[in-house]
Structure 1
Amino acid sequence: MMLSSLKVPGVYVQEVSLLPPSVAAVATSVPAFLGYTERQPEGTAGFPVRVESMLEFTSLFGGPPTIQFDGVTLNARGEVSTTVASLPYYLYQSLRLFYANGGGRCYVSSVGTYTDDNELAGVAFLPTDGNAIHPLDEIGKVDEITLLLAPDAVRLPTADLQNLHQTLLTQCGTLMDRFAILDVNQNRDGNDNLNGKVDLTTFRTGVGQQYLSYGAAYAPMLRVVPPGTVNYLSHGALKITGGGGASLRAHVNQLIIDGNGLVVNPYAGWNLLTDAHEAYVSDMTDDPDIKQALVDSLTAFTAANGITLPTTDDGSPAASLKVYSDAIASDAGLDALNTARADVLTRLPVFAAYERGLRAALPAYGALAAYLEALAFDLPPSGAVAGVFARTDANRGVWKAPANVSINGIVGVSERYTSSALAGMNVHPGTGKSVNAIRALTGHGILIYGARTLAGNDGEYRYVSVRRLLNFLEESIKKASQDFIFEANDVNTWTRMRGMIENFLNLQWRAGALQGATPAEAYRVRIGLGTTMTADDVTNGRMIVSISVAPVRPAEFIVLRFIQHQLK
């Protein structure tokens, strides 16, 4: 109320604000995941979708991908010696580790589904010309996002992965409010499968030289055991070699891995049951006990589901099964058989009786089942690291280095490093592009053992915590300063703005984000004519604030000096 506007006698109240506006701290650990999902909710293709929990993710995007289990080698005793298995897509398991390590709100941008023809195509991740909606372009429009990662991209061709890394860093450096967590290029075996070994030279060459302080890289791959509550189908024509292979080959490709171990996959075909039993019964005529165990398991299954097997004159189990299999393959009674099949699949999703019979009859099968129940797979570390970022930010603050912190939900790492290898990862004199190691330390667990950005030789932004702290301070103060746009560019406004920023920085200093014994040593805010602005600045509407801060840095190298003290 202006005093000059008073025209009626009376008492008027004016409220005078003495306190400056406050700065609201922005979120620091809201990642955007790019990758493949089982499905894309209608209308979300190319757009980041906000997700608050793993349950919400599965309800929107579906479940995990099928594990590719391609081969197994048995020794002479029928025990598993080696396997060939892999995850074709990493996003689901990376998101699971994100929540297992303390993650919360995030955004998921699906670049395609598991069945898309553009699988592992760089164009699915990278912005393109034209009017088509693209995930990275849309992610750049979401102000809340503070972390970027693309776990599925590690399987891209080398050139596409390098291009994506540079694009992620460019978005972070341009917007100055987010940070990229990169997965290092992996070596490949003769079949073009990732072997869990990092390729540091290729990574450092391809990541470029721009905006290196806005990203950090972590290696090696993590070893993960998928949860037993999720079913995984065996993949392709399973190759079984070595001792015991002949007795397993006909059957194991029709198996399913779930929380109960290996069980028969009923969706592979109705005649699977009879064909497999016929093969085993025929091959094991020299062991009546095994033969009977298999026949009993089939009998128990059919009795439990109201199925009557046809009989033969000689009463041979193998012949009976052959007649039954032929009946299934014929046109006669096909509708009735399909009805029975649908009924069985509805009431009994696994052939439990059959599986128990196989365990008892075939030691090699039982060994394979036990092995696969604890089989671990390689997974890029970015999802777990994002969870550690979130947990550290919540428990300590964004200024605490997310290092010397254990990773939950994993059983090991794909590669262990020597001291000389670690030195070359953490401090690289040639390029300065540090790669943070993840190490398994006896008695301590599996820890993130590095805290450097890709600008590892930069004196100011060498550490992840310093870069992210500056992002946090800059974004928080920037948003709060929006209220001063078009305010009078005079000393009253300058005083209010300086007070607002100083109050915010004082809170951060008290919380431990800034070093210094006094506020004057921790931060300084300057604004005013002749200090940060000239008369020309004021005339042209420029209000300039100079903010100096002294961020805390991690104690990366602790040196203990022991001196023998001589008594006099």
Structure 2
Amino acid sequence: MPQTFLHPGVYIQEVPGGSRAITGVATAITAFVGRALRGPLDEPVSVSSFTEFERVFGGLWKDSGLSYAIRDYFLNGGGTALVVRVAERALPATLTHEGVPLEAVSPGTWGNKLRVRVTHPTDAQAKDIAEAQGLPEDTLFFHLTVIDDGTGLEETFHNVTRTDGPRRLDLALNSSQLIRATGGLPTSGRPAPHGVNDKGQKFVAAGDDGKLLTAQSYKDGVRALDQADLFTLMCLPPSAPGGDVPAGARVWLEALDYCAKRRAFLLVDPPTAETTAAKIDAWLRGEGLKGPVARNAAVYFPRIRRPDPFRDGVVDAFVPSGAVAGVMARTDVSRGVWKAPAGVDSAITGASGLAATLTDTEQDAFNPLGINCLRTFRDAGSVVWGARTLRGAEALADEYKYVPVRRFALFLEESLFRGTQWVVFEPNDEPLWAQIRMSLGAFMQDLFRQGAFQGATPRDAYFVRCDAETNTPYDVDRGIVNIHVGFAPLRPAEFVSLSIQQKTAGAAV
């Protein structure tokens, strides 16, 4: 806005530079939907390490395929996970202590190890507390301690009361990681104190971990990701470590459709019984995972083998999706999302082998169908040895045949979508188009310098168009800005052909 000049002198005005920097979105935030020992239900919770997963969701659990997949994810380089805990008919442990209804903060048998202890402040302390809180002098305060004998976690809520006010018990417990007060509170009195040697009262109504997850449980868990701002990969581990996701109920297809809507990539685990290329391909067709939307997914076979600490170290087979997601995250950090998460550098940490040992001849049946194989090599160990999407079958000739090409395209789409929100409601004319070209061009040029595109020059690698040619007067009249962005993707060297010839003495090279 122009300044008003009223007196002689120098006037300074800050003028916007017009440059809008675009920041690339994270490429390996992995959403996991499944069964856990404890933790919030039907909401995505971000965890950045397996230690944090242990604290929030109870860690490794023999009846949770999710916990094993999370372990493999972080062990193989995963950085951030969005965990959605779902449960089927699980119940929380409960206790009514002297008229106060208490309930474990989440369902599961973990709540069976909770107990509470009550102590009282002295009369002098209670009087000072009441005065500080503006309550009557005869207000009855008490201290409530909650102990989790399973983890050793202990919480103490000092100076709580049944009287309405800032320290009312049910309000104070809203910050607890262990319990909640449910229902109404008695309006007078306070619980009797426990003795010095009294360990407190245990929760009497036992919690229940629930049953194996149904198809609807998985679908509800996927939809709970509406609450998440961003995720880029998705895994659906089975209820039990050696089990499968319910088949024939469109679980994988609905997850794939949701990933396409959120510009994310789905990692598919085939059922345990499907052990040949033909059977896996038939299963994929039966689940509806063969249409154009399948470019947002990849399938990996076979399962990985590793010791199970709950079975005295007996080696068992586990779904590979969590480990593969970790390999993708590791590759993104070290090389970029445009690098195929496969090859001798993609070793699966923690794996003692694979459920099936494939030879080159056997993989010949999988690769042309777009089924990625895990292989074991003498020096490299167990590695990811495939980088095709579910549209990677030779017969389809899809432009998004390869995992890195599709994931890089999704990265560009999401980054540019978020980075151009400022354009909305700006005057739609050449100054705006110039700003758009400068902003998007700088972002693409930075990626070019990192080696993200094919081509020796920026002209060969990408283009950004937003001008009078892409925005006709008809489009401008309708309030539309058309931005055209193109890029030359790097495709992995999937087949390396070496031609070797003996050189005859004296022959020209």
Q: With structure 1 as the length reference, what TM-score do the two structures score?
A: 0.63
| C-alpha distance after superposition, 1:474-494 (max 9, x if no partner) | 111111101121111111111
Unaligned runs of 5+ in 2: 91-107, 109-207
Q: What is the alpha-carbon distance in structure 2 between the residues aligned to residue 436 and residue 455 of structure 1?
A: 12
Q: Which residue of 2 aligns with 1:147?
A: 233
> The residue matched to 1:57 in structure 2 has which SS?
helix
- The amino acid of 2:296's aligned partner reads Y
> The residue matched to 1:186 in structure 2 has which SS?
coil
> The residue matched to 2:314 in structure 1 has which SS?
coil
| C-alpha distance after superposition, 1:390-443 (max 9, x if no partner) | 100011100000001100011010012243431221112xxxxx1110011122
Unaligned runs of 5+ in 1: 67-87, 127-133, 189-194, 233-256, 258-372, 429-433
- The amino acid of 1:174's aligned partner reads K
Larger Rg: 1
Q: Which residue of 2 aligns with 1:455?
A: 391
Indicate the percent of aligned positions where both proteins have the same amino acid.
34
Q: Which residue of 1 aligns with 2:254?
A: 167
Over aligned residues, Cα RMSD in angstroms? Answer: 2.1
Higher helix share: 1
Q: Which residue of 1 aligns with 2:444?
A: 505
**1:220 partnered with 2:156:** no
Aligned ranges 1:236-315 → 2 under 5 Å: none
Q: What is the alpha-carbon distance in structure 1 between the residues aligned to residue 304 and residue 278 of structure 2?
A: 12
Q: Which residue of 1 aligns with 2:150?
A: none
Q: What is the alpha-carbon distance in structure 1 between the residues aligned to residue 253 and residue 54 of structure 2?
A: 30
Q: Which has the higher contact order (CA 8 A, sep 6+)?
A: 1
**1:97 partnered with 2:72:** yes
**1:59 partnered with 2:58:** no
Check the 8 A contact 1:186/1:199 in 2, yes or no.
Answer: no
Q: What is the alpha-carbon distance in structure 2 between the residues aligned to residue 374 and residue 484 of structure 1?
A: 57
Q: Which residue of 2 aligns with 1:470?
A: 409
**1:515 partnered with 2:454:** yes
Aligned ranges 1:158-557 → 2 under 5 Å: 158-160=247-249, 163-175=250-262, 177-187=263-273, 199-208=279-288, 209-210=290-291, 211-227=293-309, 232=310, 373-404=312-343, 405-428=346-369, 434-456=370-392, 457-529=396-468, 531-557=469-495
- The amino acid of 2:430's aligned partner reads V
Q: With structure 2 as the length reference, what TM-score do the two structures score?
A: 0.71
Check the 8 A contact 1:37/1:62 in 2, yes or no.
Answer: yes
Please report how far the alpha carbon of residue 459 of structure 1 lies from its aligned counterpart in structure 2 after TM superposition: 3.5
Q: Which residue of 1 aligns with 2:498?
A: 560
Distance change in 2, residues 1:103/1:22 (3 Å): same
**1:156 partnered with 2:245:** yes
Check the 8 A contact 1:94/1:382 in 2, yes or no.
Answer: yes
| C-alpha distance after superposition, 1:332-377 (max 9, x if no partner) | xxxxxxxxxxxxxxxxxxxxxxxxxxxxxxxxxxxxxxxxx44111
- The amino acid of 1:407's aligned partner reads I
Please report how far the alpha carbon of residue 554 of structure 1 lies from its aligned counterpart in structure 2 after TM superposition: 0.5
Q: What is the alpha-carbon distance in structure 1 between the residues aligned to residue 413 and residue 420 of structure 2?
A: 10
Check the 8 A contact 1:184/1:199 in 2, yes or no.
Answer: no
Check the 8 A contact 2:44/2:227 in 1, yes or no.
Answer: no
Check the 8 A contact 1:197/1:220 in 2, yes or no.
Answer: no
Q: What is the alpha-carbon distance in structure 1 between the residues aligned to residue 478 and residue 444 of structure 2?
A: 29
**Paired residues, what number?**
378
> The residue matched to 1:140 in structure 2 has which SS?
helix
Q: What is the alpha-carbon distance in structure 2 between the residues aligned to residue 34 and residue 198 of structure 1?
A: 28
Q: What is the alpha-carbon distance in structure 1 between the residues aligned to residue 257 and residue 47 of structure 2?
A: 25
Distance change in 2, residues 1:7/1:469 (3 Å): same
Check the 8 A contact 1:466/1:553 in 2, yes or no.
Answer: yes
Check the 8 A contact 2:31/2:231 in 1, yes or no.
Answer: yes
Please report how far the alpha carbon of residue 386 of structure 1 lies from its aligned counterpart in structure 2 after TM superposition: 0.6
- The amino acid of 1:166's aligned partner reads L
Check the 8 A contact 1:198/1:219 in 2, yes or no.
Answer: no
Distance change in 2, residues 1:143/1:454 (3 Å): same
Q: Which residue of 2 aligns with 1:106?
A: 81
Please report how far the alpha carbon of residue 518 of structure 1 lies from its aligned counterpart in structure 2 after TM superposition: 0.5
Check the 8 A contact 2:376/2:383 in 1, yes or no.
Answer: yes
Q: What is the alpha-carbon distance in structure 1 between the residues aligned to residue 277 and residue 60 of structure 2?
A: 24
Check the 8 A contact 2:37/2:64 in 1, yes or no.
Answer: no
